Structure 1
Amino acid sequence: MTEVHGTHEPRFAPVRDALSWNLAAGEELGASLVVDLDGELVVDLWGGFRDETRTSPWERDTITNVWSTTKTVVSLAALVLADRGELDVFAPVARYWPEFAENGKEHVEVRHLLSHTSGVSGLEQPAAVADLYDWDKTTARLAAQAPWWEPGTASGYHATNFGHLAGEVIRRVSGKTVKDFVADELAGPLDADFRIGAAEADWPRIAPVVPPPPARFDPEPGSVMARTLSGPAVDAAVANTPAWRRADLGAVNGHGNARSVARMLSALALGGTVDGVRLLGPDTIDLVFAEQANGVDLGLGIPLRWGIGYALPRPDAVPWVRDGRVCFWGGWGGSVIIADLDRRLTISYVMNKMAPGVIGSDGSTTYVDAIYAALG
Structure 2
Amino acid sequence: MSAMGILSYGLTLCFVLVTFYFLRRTFEEKKPLVFDGYYHPEFKPVADVFRQNLLNGKERGGSFAVFHKGQCVFNMWGGYADNEAVRPWDKSTLTMAFSASKGVAAVIVAKMVDLGYLDYKRPVADYWPEFGQKDKGNITVEMLLSHQAGLPLLDEYLHLRDIVDNPDKVERVLAAQGTVWPAGTDFGYHGVTYGLYVDTLVRKADPKGRDIARFFREEIAGPFELDTFINTPKSEYYRAARLYTQPMWEMLLETLMSTRYFPILGHYILFPDSLLVNVAKAVVEFTKDMSVFNNPDLREVPLTSATVTSTAEGLGKLYGILANGGTAENKVLLNAELVKKLATPLSQGTDSVIKQENSMFGPGTVIMKNPKGQLMFGHSGHGGQVGMADATNKVGFMYITNYISINGLGDDPRYLDLENALYKSLDNHESNIGNQNI
TM range (shorter): over 0.9
**Aligned equivalents of 2:272, 2:404: Cα separation in 1:** 27
- 1:122 CA drift (Å): 2.4
**Bigger mean CA deviation after superposition, 167-176 or 153-162:** 153-162
- 1:153 CA drift (Å): 2.5
Change (3 A) 1:321 1:139: farther
**Aligned equivalents of 1:139, 1:321: Cα separation in 2:** 42
Residue of 19, 23, 35 corresponding to 1:4 = 35
Whether 1:39 aligns to 2:90 is: no
Q: Name the residue aligned to 2:346.
A: 292
Matched residue of 2:173: which SS?
helix
For 1:117-172, what per-residue CA distance to the aligned partner results, in whole angstroms no more than 9, with x for missing partners? 11111222444445455433223211111111122233221212222211111111
Change (3 A) 1:322 1:71: farther
Question: Is the Cα–Cα contact under 8 Å of residues 35 and 51 in structure 2 kept in the other structure?
Answer: yes
Q: Name the residue aligned to 1:49.
A: 80
The RMSD of aligned alpha carbons is 1.9
Question: Is the Cα–Cα contact under 8 Å of residues 192 and 260 in structure 1 kept in the other structure?
Answer: yes
**Aligned equivalents of 2:152, 2:96: Cα separation in 1:** 22
Q: Name the residue aligned to 1:364.
A: 415
**Bigger mean CA deviation after superposition, 217-226 or 61-70:** 217-226
Question: Is the Cα–Cα contact under 8 Å of residues 122 and 232 in structure 1 kept in the other structure?
Answer: no
Identity, in percent, stands at: 28
Q: Which structure 2 residues correspond to residues 14-163 of structure 1 after superposition, within 5 A?
A: 14-53=45-84, 55-133=86-164, 134-163=166-195
Q: Name the residue aligned to 1:207.
A: 241
**Aligned equivalents of 2:47, 2:85: Cα separation in 1:** 20
TM-score scaled to structure 2, two decimals?
0.80
The one-letter code sitting in structure 2 at the alignment partner of 1:354 is I
Question: Is the Cα–Cα contact under 8 Å of residues 35 and 348 in structure 1 kept in the other structure?
Answer: yes
**Aligned equivalents of 1:60, 1:264: Cα separation in 2:** 17
Name the count of aligned residue pairs: 371
Q: Name the residue aligned to 1:308.
A: 363
Residue of 400, 406, 409 corresponding to 1:350 = 400
Q: Which runs of 5+ in 1 are unaligned?
A: none
**Bigger mean CA deviation after superposition, 99-108 or 322-331:** 322-331
Matched residue of 2:404: which SS?
coil
Residue of 186, 191, 210 corresponding to 2:225 = 191
TM-score scaled to structure 1, two decimals?
0.93
**Aligned equivalents of 2:105, 2:301: Cα separation in 1:** 15
Question: Is the Cα–Cα contact under 8 Å of residues 241 and 402 in structure 2 kept in the other structure?
Answer: yes
Whether 1:222 aligns to 2:276 is: no
- 1:276 CA drift (Å): 2.2
For 1:186-245, what per-residue CA distance to the aligned partner results, in whole angstroms no more than 9, with x for missing partners? 111111111111121211111011113456363424322222132235121121112212
- 1:53 CA drift (Å): 2.5
Question: Is the Cα–Cα contact under 8 Å of residues 4 and 16 in structure 1 kept in the other structure?
Answer: no
- 1:184 CA drift (Å): 0.9
- 1:81 CA drift (Å): 0.8
**Aligned equivalents of 2:310, 2:157: Cα separation in 1:** 31
**Aligned equivalents of 2:79, 2:182: Cα separation in 1:** 46
Q: Name the residue aligned to 1:259.
A: 313
**Aligned equivalents of 1:173, 1:48: Cα separation in 2:** 42
- 1:321 CA drift (Å): 5.7
Whether 1:268 aligns to 2:297 is: no
